[in-house]
Amino acid sequence: MPTRNPATRHTYQRRYPVGAEPVLDGGTHFRVWAPRREHVEVVLEGGAGARAITLEREDDGYFAGLVAEASAGSRYRLRLDRGASFPDPASRFQPDGPHGPSEVVDPAAFRWTDSAWRGRALEGQVLYEMHVGTFTREGTWRAAARELPELADVGITTLEIMPVADFPGSFGWGYDGVDLFAPTRLYGEPDDMRAFVDAAHAAGLAVLLDVVYNHGGPDGNYLREFSDSYFAKRATEWGDAINFDGDGSAPVREFFLSNAAYWIDEFHLDGLRLDATQSIADSSPTHILVELGERVRAAAGPRATTVINENEPQHASLVRPPSQGGCGLDAIWNDDFHHSAMVAVTGRDDAYYTDYRGTAQELLSAAKYGFLFQGQWYRWQEQRRGRAALDLDPARFVHFLENHDQVANSARGDRLHRLTSPGRWRAMTALLLLGPQTPMLFQGQEYASSKPFLFFADHHPELAAKVTKGRAQFLSQFRSLALPEMLGRLAEPNDPDVFERCKLDRAERARHREAYALHRDLLRLRREDPCFSAQRRRGCDGAVLADASFALRFFAEPSTDSGQAAGDRLLVVNLGRALHLDPAPEPLLAPPDGARWAVHWSSEDPRYGGLGTPPLDAAEDDRRVPGRAKPDRPRENWRVPAESAVVLTARDASPTE
């Protein structure tokens, strides 16, 4: 028989408005929003049998109460109107998956060691996108934690973890999560995630979590059993949109705002990455994205936080302060840079690459201004793309050559180094890692992983068939992939072997030592050279040198003695054949007064698998060859090797030069 709970909602000060929270003096306080229900019970499982305890109804659609018998580890469901029982919408852990019982978790039981950690500001960050299930062979938090010192050593500063909210099946990307407060049981228990974050902070790494606030997963999602108000009448391409501004939306907003704060507070995360913000619609006086940023910062207290967002139409206002009509988020993914870079090094220009040419002008403009489309007409979508962004600091743009979507969209999950030549790959990597924007690597990219990253999702047969069909339809926008012989070869998302093939092989770090050295040296140069680390607005300028070649000049702070910037750096990227500059009437190529340019770093260094880099001019080349007479003047001005990138620094010219 159900028993009436003698406790009332006034006896416990909750941390969050919903979910099960253990009480210091004993028992667990439960609270759930179920406005269309008349009766809600907590059904405890285990022991001699299930026991149901009635929660008190509150005036605003919530049900709450203290259950003395429940404690950390107790498993339970919520029975609605004396009928069916369901997992808690705000469950902190689903040990048997989204369809099983919820489990009470005590966040205070974990002993943190990161009290001195103060987070990381946006400037200076080097991001690393990680999928916990494929990052190691074991696919767990504990296994991933063992690799953190190595990531810090190569120069990574911040991890961006793909979604971990629990989802059905035994593998998946995580974007169909249904229990937003429950770290998936597939990677370990909640305290394993806490231990991972603690270890990351000990290694000097910040941790961001990718969260999905634009739709709910299709399987194991029981929110509608508690209220239809969770979802809007409009739909996204992945499912029904979240109701942030319609009838009954106030508790829905609070549910998601609390979720954002929960990850920062109880898991000590350093920020969030918001998935597909173009599908988060809100006509409220204060947009939900503004409040999300505020909640994250409030939950972190004195710690620095970062909130990154993905926004396909590239609305720059998302990262402007609310006082300027923006949402106050910190950074935004820049697909323009990725798309232009892909066309430049692979020649592929169909589907969403249609409006990019991969020219030298595009690449240097992305380095100078971030978005390439800031309101111009975009033929592929037959509408204007982007918003004005010339005023934004470079660090606010996240640049990448690989991410989970783009690697998977190659159909075979191929990494970029397999789609282009080694020289172009090294040169483009230099542009990514030395450019003024915030660079992001995808797991394994730092050592040219041979492992693919494909789309995988373990769904029941009926849903799996729909997902497979939808995936094929999406990829058919690429003309070559639309061919029947190609569509028939696409990986089945629900095939366990597809998931297993995507797991990284850590031994490749040693086997691919040239690629690893390339990334480590570039990140060291970025970190230690003040020109590359500054990330100042208008801190660099550029010039096109040839169809596939350009130079970026990074300006140093002027010397207080001479007023000249002798510390300028010149990054020359040549994606085409060997570049001969004679003459070179471009002011940005002129060295500081009384100096000459010299090669400081080159992607053609044999340490990276290159063929070596001769000196820039023939005169200096002659001086290095024994017995060769010094000519009266250089035979040509400059020579830059084919498919290479070089960093030039100024050195004093000799009296004879």
Q: Express each pLDDT in 342-383 by its tens digit.
A: 999 999 999 999 999 999 999 999 999 999 999 999 999 999
Distance CA 263, CA 270 (A): 9
* Segment 71-95, tens digit of pLDDT: 999 999 999 999 999 999 999 999 9
* Segment 388-401, tens digit of pLDDT: 999 999 999 999 99
Q: What is the dihedral of CA 108, 114, 116, 118, to 10 degrees?
A: -100
So what's the pLDDT on residue 254? 98
* Segment 136-149, tens digit of pLDDT: 999 999 999 999 99
So what's the pLDDT on residue 81? 98
Q: Which of 130-134, 294-298, 548-552, 584-588 shows the lowest mean pLDDT across its residues?
A: 584-588
DSSP secondary structure code for residue 183 in this structure = E
So what's the pLDDT on residue 166? 98
DSSP secondary structure code for residue 603 in this structure = T
Domains of the chain: 3-109 (2.60.40.10), 127-525 (3.20.20.80), 539-652 (2.60.40)
Mean pLDDT of the chain: 93
User: Which residues, at least 6 apart from 611, have a Cβ–Cβ distance to it below 8 Å?
Assistant: 604, 641
So what's the pLDDT on residue 620? 53
Distance CA 262, CA 242 (A): 19
Overall average pLDDT of the 543-564 stretch: 81
* Segment 480-497, tens digit of pLDDT: 887 777 777 889 999 999
User: Which residues, at least 6 apart from 565, have a Cβ–Cβ distance to it below 8 Å?
Assistant: 555, 556, 557, 558, 559, 592
Distance CA 200, CA 158 (A): 9
User: Which residues, at least 6 apart from 346, have a Cβ–Cβ distance to it below 8 Å?
Assistant: 419, 420
Distance CA 119, CA 496 (A): 37
Distance CA 155, CA 520 (A): 6
* Segment 247-293, tens digit of pLDDT: 999 999 999 999 999 999 999 999 999 999 999 999 999 999 999 99
Distance CA 487, CA 472 (A): 6
Residue type at position 645? A
Beta carbons within 10 angstroms of residue 313's beta carbon? 15
Distance CA 269, CA 435 (A): 27
**% of the chain surpassing 70 pLDDT:** 93
So what's the pLDDT on residue 511? 97
Q: Is the predicted pLDDT of residue 331 greater than 80, yes or no?
A: yes
Exposed, middle or buried, 105 (CB in 10 Å: 0-12/13-18/19+)? Answer: buried
Distance CA 77, CA 590 (A): 72
Q: What is the dihedral of CA 336, 413, 417, 476, to 10 degrees?
A: -50
Q: What is the dihedral of CA 46, 51, 53, 54, to 10 degrees?
A: 120
User: Which residues, at least 6 apart from 83, have a Cβ–Cβ distance to it below 8 Å?
Assistant: none
Distance CA 177, CA 618 (A): 61
Question: Is residue 39 within 8 Å of residue 32, measured between CB atoms?
Answer: no
So what's the pLDDT on residue 8? 43
Question: Is residue 398 within 8 Å of residue 334, measured between CB atoms?
Answer: yes
> Is the peptide bond prior to 251 cis by the omega test (within 30 degrees of 0)?
no
> Which residues belong to the active site?
275, 310
So what's the pLDDT on residue 426? 98
Question: Is residue 651 within 8 Å of residue 596, measured between CB atoms?
Answer: yes
Strand, helix or coil for residue 80: strand
* Cα distances (Å, whole numbers) of residue 75 to 86, 87, 102: 12, 10, 5
Strand, helix or coil for residue 412: coil
* Cα distances (Å, whole numbers) of residue 102 to 21, 361, 509: 12, 55, 40
So what's the pLDDT on residue 614? 87
Question: Is residue 340 within 8 Å of residue 365, measured between CB atoms?
Answer: no
* Segment 28-73, tens digit of pLDDT: 999 999 999 999 999 999 876 679 999 999 989 999 999 999 999 9
Nearest alpha-carbon partner for 10 in 61, 46, 50, 58? 58
DSSP string covering 529-593, please?
-HHHH---TT-EEEEEEETTEEEEEEPPPPPTTTS--TT-EEEEEE-SSPEEESS---GGGPPPT
Overall average pLDDT of the 182-186 stretch: 98
β-pair partners for 645:
573
DSSP secondary structure code for residue 431 in this structure = H
Distance CA 51, CA 104 (A): 15
Nearest alpha-carbon partner for 292 in 267, 276, 279, 309? 309
Q: Is the predicted pLDDT of residue 302 greater than 60, yes or no?
A: yes
Distance CA 277, CA 507 (A): 37
So what's the pLDDT on residue 411? 85
Beta strand 397-400 pairing with 51-54: unpaired
Buried b (16+ CB within 10 A) or exposed e, 180-205: bbbbbbbbbbbbbbbbbbbbbbbbeb
Q: Which of 211-215, 309-313, 612-616 shows the lowest mean pLDDT across its residues?
A: 612-616
